[in-house]
Structure 1
Amino acid sequence: MAKNGKVGDGHRNGAVKDRTQTYNPTTQTWTKRDSNSGRFMDGKSDGKPFKGVTKEK
C-alpha cells in the first residue's frame, strides 16, 4: 500500500502499490484490479477514477 504522511495532511505520498485501474466503457465505471492475481476488486459508482491508483492503458 502507499505511504501516508503526517496524520491530517490530506494527501497520499506516491501511488498505491500492486493495484491498477481500468475504465469499463460498458458500465461507464472505473474498476480496480489486483496486479498480483489479476482479479478485479472494486468498482466506482460515481464514474470518477480512484485516487492514487495507477491507470492501465
Structure 2
Amino acid sequence: MATNPPTGDGHRNGAVKSRSQTKTSSGHYVKRDTKTGRFMDVKTSDKKPFKGVRKEKSK
C-alpha cells in the first residue's frame, strides 16, 4: 500500500477524483461534480483555488 509521508504537511499525491473547479465572475472558485455537473462548494475564505482539484478550461 502506498503512503504519502510525512503526514500533516498539507499536500496530497494525485488529484481528487470526479471533481473540477472553475472561477466565478466575482473571482471565487466553485467546485463541481463532473458526473452530475452540479456545483458542490464555493471557496469564500480566500480567492485561491481548491487544492488537488483540476481546473476547467475557461472560455
CA contact (8 A) 1:33 1:39 kept: yes
TM-score, length basis structure 2: 0.79
- Contact preservation (8 Å) 1:21, 1:32: yes
- Superposed CA deviations along residues 3-40 of structure 1, whole A, max 9, x for unmatched, are 86246152201010100000002x22000000000000
TM-score normalised to structure 1 length: 0.82
- 1:52 offset after TM fit, Å? 0.4
Q: Distance in 2 between matches of 1:34 and 1:4?
A: 26
- The answer for the alignment partner of 2:31 in structure 1 is 32
Equivalent pairs: percent with the same residue? 54
Runs of 4+ residues deviating >3 angstroms = none
Q: CA RMSD in A?
A: 1.9
Structure showing greater radius of gyration is: 2
Matched residues, number: 54
Q: Does 1:13 align with 2:43?
A: no
Higher relative strand content: 1
